[in-house]
Amino acid sequence: MNTTNSLRKHALEIFYAGLHAVKPDVCMQDHVHLTKNVLKIGNGNYDLGKYRNIFVTGFGKASGSMARALEYMLMKRIKTGIVNVPYGYTAPCKIIRINEAGHPIPDNAGIQGTREIVQLLKETQEDDLVICLISGGGSALFELPCEEITLKELQNVTGLLLKSGARIDEINAIRKHISQVKGGRLVNISKSEIVSLILSDVAHDQVETIASGPTAPDSSTFSDCKRILIKYGLLQKIPVSIMDRIQKGVDGKAEETPKATDKRFDRVSNIIIGNNRMALNHCHKKAAALGYHTCTLSSLIKGEAQEVAKVFGAIAREIHQSGNPAKTPACIIAGGETTVTVKGDGIGGRNQEFTLAAAREIDGLENTVILSAGTDGRDGNTDAAGAIADGSTITRAKYVNMDTETYLNNNDTHTFFKNLHDLINTGPTKTNVMDIMILLVASGTG
Amino acid sequence: MNTTNSLRKHALEIFYAGLHAVKPDVCMQDHVHLTKNVLKIGNGNYDLGKYRNIFVTGFGKASGSMARALEYMLMKRIKTGIVNVPYGYTAPCKIIRINEAGHPIPDNAGIQGTREIVQLLKETQEDDLVICLISGGGSALFELPCEEITLKELQNVTGLLLKSGARIDEINAIRKHISQVKGGRLVNISKSEIVSLILSDVAHDQVETIASGPTAPDSSTFSDCKRILIKYGLLQKIPVSIMDRIQKGVDGKAEETPKATDKRFDRVSNIIIGNNRMALNHCHKKAAALGYHTCTLSSLIKGEAQEVAKVFGAIAREIHQSGNPAKTPACIIAGGETTVTVKGDGIGGRNQEFTLAAAREIDGLENTVILSAGTDGRDGNTDAAGAIADGSTITRAKYVNMDTETYLNNNDTHTFFKNLHDLINTGPTKTNVMDIMILLVASGTG
């Protein structure tokens, strides 16, 4: 096997080592331990003998698998539970009901599941324990709009926000203020002790952002919401009921979301059990074990995919020329989420866009491989997680009459890599801790 | 002194350590040694007793200072010489004539100086040695257009090319094919052994790119030139004499530039005596000596300044959170040249644009400092080399009523940093090895 082929194999092994480490069941096993009758979660100890009943709620792409792992651990200690997941993301649970629902636009099944969760939470007592399993996608899956707002109106505003160019924290500010359950409002509903186990799909693991933070204090206000609607020119476009709700809040006539000073959060613990950094740590370990001089750049990468790719190209060439920032065989690891300013009408995603732009940067380099893939297994509007490329990718594309610039300009990176058989297809992974990027550079010809 | 202040001081010290190492006289001292009567340059030995006469030619921003250093070393062994530099870049030489001329648009003084250099070279014999001192800016400063092309037409096409968005290698392809001296044509003019000492202002130190490669084989052709003119829509805009020249070349009726297979290059040595990587190496040593865990990312950084800055922001935050890619106190060093897609009409340059965008990314972080500056001392259309920022820069800007987004959107970064007294003013350094970027992150409060 020549070096480029073994590098490609290693890049995939390193990616999968990271991906495996953030699988919901692995994260649960790593962070949740039952010893005799004491449940240890992070630094917290929960003496199960102390609680009348244990209830399980949850929402998000990974939450079905998390529920399955928790049920396996606690078995009949769980009184009952209900978890909302996207269609196709169910898990084989016996006690906890897994309810499939719409994502990213909420639907009736999601509302109905949320009503059941709210009903369950309302019946909990001060001596109960509620375990809440939160993961990416939860914003759409755990939703009960304020009574004056219909599902149709909620769907309408969600669609408008997703298309507006607003940041996710801005979208969530609105979501939180027109909802009965988001933005920390779970403390309004349940009197119990609540421990949220969270798989983070956002940079910096802000618990108030993940799934719109149902168990976290909210730092946004009704006034912020109005500013955001003005900023994106949505004031006149959103349903009247929603504008009325926000204006009532601004006028002090609707209840604000609970803030950090609220004493009720004393009985709530929000614990991150998986995030991008944990995935990168495992990539790092795997790369080191394979003999690479390994450098983890950052788990917080952002920026336009094609421009970020240029930095990776510059690092690849530097490694060849000077052994910086790592000697060969070198492995550079990064994570986060880039963005793509879409100009064409092709099929692709940020990982495939990054990989093709990086392929252009490393064109002609021997023994150089780059990979970028989303941990959720779905990059953009495609069914691939991402793609892999090496110094011969651009040349191989020419052999099959593909012009790189044409495909990049049309954001048609999926078609490009599909034709080269260089897609990474994991299938839906049922987890999500953003993306992983891996650069491998070796010397010699192997 | 608190930590941020000492970090700012260190960042400047590290930058200046790199800058000092690529000063023309320092590079000459580092790479050119006279022992008894033998001149050692890189791996080459030139027994001065062997040569009838030594002549010196040169062109570029650093070439005056290089001539001064060479003259100091060889003294009266130099028969005569002439070097073209931009106005204000002269140096106190006694034997070599330093001729000031126009840059970046060639002028009559440059043409006249080039005629003198050509005359000198024509008179050299096979047993002479020509030392050619080449640095950035040389393309405009060493120019003698083909006889059918006037200076005015040359200025016209140079201006069109610089504004067209064409890459520097594309601009140089045209320059080489309408010139009597560029693109390796020095081997047509002189019969002597030629050693070129080169201070590189381009990525990868391609000698055929620096100063349009007068002593290097040219890989571009007349056909490439026509393609480039078509690509940027210049075919109908350039002077007729220039289009005629290119078309004659395409038709095989004008002499191509000398190619790599040309035996005449056997008597030519092109030696890089200074480049961005050398500067970064000295930054690295200085940072390590100051006690930083130091990581040099790449000397080949490129990409849109604001996007590249996001990657540096991601690294800064990662260092604080996980100690990757270096533990605190950490120093990340990089070099190269970013680009700015100008949208506003403010005053600025790529280094100041990068620094302001990075300041936004590190906003609120304690003990975090970022610096970016050009080694030539002139960033964009300003008289500053670059700027320095820390985690409080955005807040300090608010105190004086400056909104960061407004200044960034207007590309008015010079005004921004001027108001904060955060410009780096080196004055013209008379050297140029692209830009240097430095990120410092410390823990503790100092």
Contact by Cβ (8 Å): A428, A376: yes
Q: Using an 8 Å Cβ cutoff, are A121 and A215 in contact? A: no
- Compute the distance between CA of residue A134 and CA of residue A145 in angstroms, rounded to an integer: 19
Question: Is A93 within the bounds of a domain?
Answer: yes
The answer to whether A323 faces chain B, any CB pair under 8 Å, is: no
Measured between CB atoms, does A302 come within 8 Å of chain B? yes
> Which residues constitute the domain of residue A352?
3-16+277-441
Domain membership flag for residue A327:
yes
pLDDT greater than 90 at residue B162? no
Q: Is the peptide bond before A104 cis (omega within 30 degrees of 0)?
A: yes
Q: Identify whether A116 is part of a domain.
A: yes
Residue A330 and residue A188 share a domain:
no
Domain count for chain A: 2
Q: Judge: B298–A311 Cβ closer than 8 Å, yes or no.
A: yes
- 10 Å CB burial of residue B55 (0-12, 13-18, 19+) is buried
Q: Which residues of B touch A288 (CB under 8 A)?
A: none
Please give, rounded to a whole number of angstroms, the shortest distance from the CA of B242 to a CA of chain A.
30
Q: Which bin fits B92, alpha (ψ -120 to 50), beta or left (φ > 0)?
A: beta
Q: H or E stretch including A349? A: none
* DSSP characters over B374-427: ETTS--TTSS--EEEEETTHHHHHHHTT--HHHHHHTT-HHHHHHHTT-EE---
Q: Smallest Cβ distance to A318: which of B298, B314, B315? A: B298
Work out the end-to-end distance of chain B between its first and last CA atoms, rounded to an integer number of angstroms. 8
> Do A199 and A314 fall into the same domain?
no
Interface test with B, best of A281, A297, A301, A304 (most B CBs within 10 A): A297
Contact B297 A321 (CB under 8 A): no
Which residue in the set B308, B313, B321 is minimally distant from A307, CB to CB? Answer: B308
Residue indicated by tokens 């190209």? A313
Residue A194 tokens, joined: 């609540």
Token pair recorded at residue A317: 């060439």
List the beta bridge partners of residue A132.
Answer: A57, A196
| Reported confidence tier of residue B2, pLDDT bands at 50, 70, 90 | low
Half-sphere exposure (Cβ direction) of B307: Cα atoms closer than 13 Å: 24
Q: What per-residue confidence (pLDDT) applies to B420? A: 97
Statement: residue B256 has pLDDT above 80:
yes
Best of B276, B324, B333 to mutate (most A CBs within 10 Å, chain A): B324
Do residues A419 and A400 touch, judged by C-beta distance below 8 A? Answer: yes
Identify the CATH number of the domain in which residue A195 sits.
3.40.50.10180
Which of B307, B331, B333, B441 to mutate to probe the A interface, most A CBs <10 Å? Answer: B307
Q: What ipTM is given for this predicted complex?
A: 0.89
Place of tokens 């609607």: A229
Nearest chain B CA: its distance from A302 CA (Å): 6
Distance from CA of B310 to the nearest CA of A (A): 6
Task: Answer yes or no: do A93 and A138 share one domain.
Answer: yes
Chain B contact set for A298 (CB, 8 A): 311, 314-315, 317-318, 324-325
Low-confidence ranges of chain A (pLDDT < 50): 445-446
Give the max Cα distance, chain A.
72
Antiparallel, parallel or unpaired: β B386-390 and B423-424: antiparallel
* Chain B residue nearest residue A296, CA to CA: B325
CA dihedral for A48, A50, A52, A54, sign (positive or negative): negative
Q: Which residues of A touch B318 (CB under 8 A)?
A: 296-300
**CA B254 – CA B250 distance, rounded (Å):** 8
Residue B334 pLDDT greater than 90, yes or no: yes
- Subunit contact B277:A321, Cβ cutoff 8 A: yes
CB contacts, 8 Å: A308 with chain B: 303, 307, 310-311
Co-location of A281 and A307 in the same domain: yes
- The answer to whether the CB atoms of B298 and A314 lie below 8 A apart is yes
Please give the angle made by the CA atoms of B215, B235 and B213, to the nearest 5 degrees.
10
- Looking at the structure, tell me whether residues B288 and B263 fall in a common domain: no
Structure letter (DSSP) for residue A326? S
Contact A96, A72 (CB under 8 A): no
Q: Residue B398 falls within a domain, yes or no?
A: yes
Interface of A with B in 276-295 (CB under 8 A): 277, 295
Please give the backbone phi and psi of residue A443, each rounded to the nearest 5 degrees, phi first. Answer: -100, 180
Nearest residue of A to residue B339 by CA position? A307
Note whether residue A281 is domain-resident. yes
Sign for the pseudo-dihedral over CA of B264, B269, B272, B273: negative
pLDDT at B92 over 90: yes
pLDDT of res. A168: 83
- Same-domain status, A295 and A196: no
CATH code, B386: 3.40.1480.10
Residue B298's pLDDT is 98
Out of B311, B318, B321, the one facing A308 most closely (by C-beta) is: B311
Q: Within 13 Å of residue B377, how many CA atoms lie on the same side as its CB?
A: 15
In a domain, A243, yes or no: no
Q: Is B194 in a helix, a strand, or coil?
A: strand
Chain A hits for B321, CB-CB cut-off 8 Å, are 277
The sign of the dihedral angle between the CA atoms of B96, B99, B100, B101 is: negative
Residue with tokens 């309302």: A122
For A223-273, write each residue's pLDDT tens digit. Answer: 999 999 999 999 889 999 999 999 999 999 999 999 999 999 999 999 999
Q: Which residue of B has its CA nearest to A311?
A: B301
Number of residue pairs across A and B with CB atoms under 8 Å? 90
The answer, for B31 touching chain A at a CB cutoff of 8 Å, is no
Q: Are B170 and B227 in contact (CB under 8 A)?
A: no
**pLDDT tier for residue B446 given thresholds of 50, 70 and 90:** very low
**Which among B204, B297, B317 has CB closest to A315?**
B297
The pLDDT value recorded for residue B381 is 87
Pair (A262, A308) in one structural domain? no
- On whether any CB of chain A is under 8 Å from the CB of B336, the answer is yes
Q: Out of A296, A310, A321, name the one closest to residue B302 (CB).
A: A310
Of A232, A247, A274, the residue that ends a domain is A274
Concatenate the DSSP letters of all residues of B342-385 into one string. Answer: --S-----HHHHHHHHHHHHTTT-SSEEEEEEETTS--TTSS--
Note whether B46 and B97 are same-domain residues. yes
Instruction: Please name the residue of chain A whose CA is at the shortest distance from the CA of residue B318.
Output: A298
**Structural domain includes residue A332:** yes
Nearest CA in chain B to A333: B325
Contacts of A339 in chain B (CB under 8 A): none
Token pair in block for residue B379:
């960033």
Residue A154 lies in a domain: no
Question: Are B325 and A297 within 8 A, CB to CB?
Answer: yes
A73 and A122 housed in the same domain: yes
Interchain contact, B299 vs A318, CB within 8 Å? yes
Q: Which residues contact A28 (CB under 8 A, 6 or more apart)?
A: A66, A69, A70, A73, A197, A273
Final residue belonging to a domain, choices B246, B274, B302: B274
The pLDDT tens digits for B264-294 are 999 999 999 999 999 999 999 999 999 999 9
Q: Are residue B332 and residue B363 in the same domain, yes or no?
A: yes
- Axis crossing angle, helix A3-21 with helix A24-31, rounded to the nearest 10: 60
Strand, helix or coil for residue B18: helix
B315 interfacial to chain A (CB closer than 8 Å): yes
Alpha helices per DSSP H over A61-193: 63-74, 108-122, 138-141, 151-164, 168-177, 186-189
State pTM to two decimals. 0.91
First to last CA, chain A: 8
Q: What is the pLDDT of residue A224?
A: 96
Contact A436, A370 (CB under 8 A): no
Q: How many CB atoms lie within 10 A of CB A184?
A: 26
Report the alpha-carbon distance of residue A214 to residue A139 in Å, rounded. 9
Whether A366 and A359 have beta carbons less than 8 Å apart is answered as no
- Please give, rounded to a whole number of angstroms, the shortest distance from the CA of B287 to a CA of chain A: 15
Same domain, B268 and B282: no
Last residue of a domain, one of B274, B299, B315: B274
User: What single string gives the DSSP state of each residue in B101-120?
Assistant: E-SSS--HHHHHHHHHHHHH
- B214 shares a domain with B107: yes
Which of A294, A299, A317, A318 to probe by mutation at the B interface, max B CB count within 10 Å? Answer: A318
